[in-house]
Amino acid sequence: MSLRINDIAPDFTADSTEGEIRFHEWLGDSYAIIFSHPRDFTPVCTTEFGAVAQLAAEFEKRNTKVIGVSVDSVEDHRKWKNDIAQVAGVPANFAIIDDTSLTVAKAYDMLPAEYYLPGEGRSPADSATVRAVFIIGPDKKVRLTMTYPMSIGRNFAEILRALDAVRKTDGVPLATPANWVPGEDVIVALSLDDKAAAEKFGPLDIRLPYLRYAKDPA
């Protein structure tokens, strides 16, 4: 069964480029983004890890730790980080987990459908993790998931935008409209009537009885 929104993110202990990680303890009071990729030393993955390396300061500003996962070893990850730095122009200073045991891949259901076929004829490529993304909250709950196929590199600007939306709506009766970016108006949940909504979030822009915007309470 795959992980669902609001499930507790599975805890794990794993070796990584930054040493042993006990996931829940490592998470502490931060948000986390776990993102898996098929293999080290492959073209799309190298561009993706470079993109994450370039966004390091943005994730830090958002109190968010980033962790990469693949079925390769720490030794490979360390060598591959040199290539990532060469392509990205900045070092990849985030942890990459050694998941040669497939512990994390199985716990987070990061393996492709082929992995689950009867063993005969399964190749090592079938045990490579897919391009999965999990945003985890400080309460250890899964807040958002995305899965991309092997051939399509992820849009990390969108992942950052989604992280902003998750943090904006956490614990408050707000939601974000399509294509929202920080600073734009947000939607007030229907759990508040107009009066209570205006008292809490200021003047409302009521487009429909169920579509009420308030200024981004930045």
Q: For binding to ligand BEZ (CB under 6 A), which residues are involved?
A: 38-39, 42-45, 150
CB of 38 to ligand BEZ, least distance (A): 4
**Cα 43 to chain center, whole Å?**
21
Q: Which amino acid, one-letter code, is at 150?
A: M
Both tokens of residue 157?
Answer: 């600007």
Nearer to ligand BEZ by Cβ, of 148 and 213: the residue is: 148
Q: Is 45 a catalytic residue?
A: yes
Q: Which residues of 6-30 are buried (b: 16+ CB within 10 A; e: fewer)?
A: eeebbebebbbbeeebebbebbeee
Task: Give 202: exposed, middle or buried? Use CB within 10 Å, 0-12, 13-18, 19+.
Answer: exposed
Least distance from C-beta 114 to ligand BEZ, angstroms? 13
Rounded CA separation 7/137 (Å): 11
Distance CA 197, CA 204 (A): 8
Q: Which is nearer to ligand BEZ, 45 or 97 (CB)?
A: 45
Q: Whole-number minimum distance, CB 209 to ligand BEZ, in Å? A: 48
DSSP-derived 3-state class of residue 35:
strand
Pick between residue 13 and residue 82 the one whose CB is nearest to ligand BEZ.
Answer: 82
Residue closer to ligand BEZ (CB basis): 38 or 137? 38
- Quote the least distance from Cβ 37 to ligand BEZ, whole Å: 7
Helical (H) or strand (E) element with 65: strand 64-70
Give 145's DSSP letter: E
Determine which one of 9, 45, 132, 136 is catalytic.
45
Query: Residues with catalytic annotation?
Result: 45
